Amino acid sequence: MLEDKNQERTSLEQLGEFGLIEHLTQHFSIEQKSTIKGIGDDAAVLDFGTKKAIISTDLLVEGIHFDLSYMPLKHLGYKAVMVNLSDIYAMNAEATQITVSIAASNRFPAEALEELYAGIHQACKTFGVDLIGGDTTSSLTGLLISITAIGEASEEKITYRDKAKPNDLLVVSGDLGGAYMGLQVLDREKEVFKVNPNNQPDLEPYTYIVERQLKPEARKDIVKLLNELEVLPTAMIDISDGLSSEILHLCKNSAVGCNLFEEKIPLDPTVIAACEEFQVDSTMIALSGGEDYELLFTIDQNDFNKIKGNPSLTVIGHMTEPSEGSHLITRANTKIPLSAQGWNSFNKS
């Protein structure tokens, strides 16, 4: 797929390391005033004045974190940036810079890496983030991408995972389960394609969930919204691994318990339809699916009026005393302990 996308094939050796770096980074511009020096010296130089610097890094490995047979490289570049920006936003900070390091085997022509960088470029432009450096090297087989995201926030705005209190409301942005169901659709099409390569998949009905998988958007807008609403979350985390595991992180770090209400979990109609088609429980998918990159946070009850009725935010539960534990309250009003896999006794009646 990668090879037949571009007619041209410039080998990485042909360009050389410096030629390649120059080629990949030539169109990036500097927007942030905190960026004093970007690409081109031994190190970048940043100045955040009185603000705090927020740093997060991720490593993505081909075959482990992404599959190039259905992930176009441009999307991969975009998503790799989103995954990192999401961590910065989860601190209630503004993302300002990224570094990008790649290792590629000679299976990848320069044109393929250009596609990757086109996605990275689009992400930088859309989110106002500067590319300020990285490293480029070869690998024996696959592609590796490591991105470090940098952000800034004033000290009092930073939201950690450990300040949720009993009776705080538990809130989530957007809706859940889409990215996982999108992956199910893509996996199925990949199998069909293996059997009959002429079969053109009709992904139209699945546009939303496939996009949630291939082109997630980090919730910069939610950080802005909370600021405008003058709501400072007591704790916040981004949902990369599924709702239940992130709730448990908040509970553990803050030493609180939680009641999560099944009927409140926000699901898009296309996610519900896909769950019916694949015969999986939509609550299970929302709880354990992962990769939605929504923000999960807790707020003081006094702030409820400020967020009430906002279409981007849903109150899904509340925190409790730690002795009460962490539970899912089902639609049938039964109380089931939450586990990192969703809930403990999923297969009971």
Binding residues for ligand ADP, per CB under 6 A?
21, 24-25, 39-42, 100-102, 131, 133-136
Total interface residues for Mg ion by CB under 5 A: 1
Under the binding rule (CB under 5 A), the answer on residue 22 touching Mg ion is no
By beta-carbon proximity to Mg ion, the closer residue of 109 and 134 is 134
Query: Considering only CA atoms, which of 212, 311, 314, 308 is closest in space to residue 265?
Result: 314
Out of ligand ADP, Mg ion, none, what residue 204 binds, judged by CB under 5 to 8 A for its kind, is none
- DSSP SS3 for 320: strand
Residue 20 or 80: the one with the smaller Cβ distance to Mg ion is 20
**Binding segment for Mg ion among 127-135, 187-195, 325-333, 341-349 (CB under 5 A)?**
127-135
DSSP assigned state of 39: T
Exposed/middle/buried for residue 309 (C-beta within 10 Å: 0-12, 13-18, 19+): exposed
Q: Which residue, 203, 181, 169, is CA-closest to 268?
A: 181
- Give least dist CB 220 to ligand ADP, A: 22
**Binding-site partner at residue 134 among Mg ion, ligand ADP, none, CB < 5 to 8 Å by type:** ligand ADP
Give the residue at shortest CB distance from ligand ADP. 133
For Mg ion, the binding residue among 135, 263, 276, 281 (CB under 5 A) is 135
Residue 42 binds which entry of Mg ion, ligand ADP, none, CB below 5-8 Å type-dependent: ligand ADP
Whether the CB-CB separation of 232 and 158 falls below 8 Å is answered with no
- Nearer to ligand ADP among residue 98 and residue 258 (C-beta): 98
DSSP state of 324: G
Asked if residue 99 lies in contact with residue 147, where contact means CB atoms within 8 angstroms, the answer is: yes
Stretch 52-111 residues interacting with Mg ion (CB under 5 A): none
Residue 39 interacts, among Mg ion, ligand ADP, none and using kind-specific CB cut-offs from 5 to 8 Å, with ligand ADP
Please identify, using beta-carbon distances, which residue of 97 and 240 lies nearer to ligand ADP: 97
The letter for the amino acid at 155 is E
Phi-psi region of 300 (alpha: psi -120 to 50; beta: other; left: phi over 0): beta
| Pick from 304, 269, 83: nearest CA to 181 | 269
- C-beta of 17: minimal distance to Mg ion in Å? 8
76/299 with CB nearer ligand ADP? 76
CB of 121 to Mg ion, least distance (A): 20
Pick between residue 103 and residue 316 the one whose CB is nearest to Mg ion.
Answer: 103
Contact 101, 145 (CB under 8 A): yes
Tokens of 86: 């999401």
Asked whether 55 and 150 are in contact (CB, 8 A), the reply is: yes
**C-alpha torsion sign, points 266, 288, 336, 258:** negative
- Nearest residue (CB) to ligand ADP, 36 versus 192: 36
Binding-site ranges for Mg ion (CB under 5 A): 135
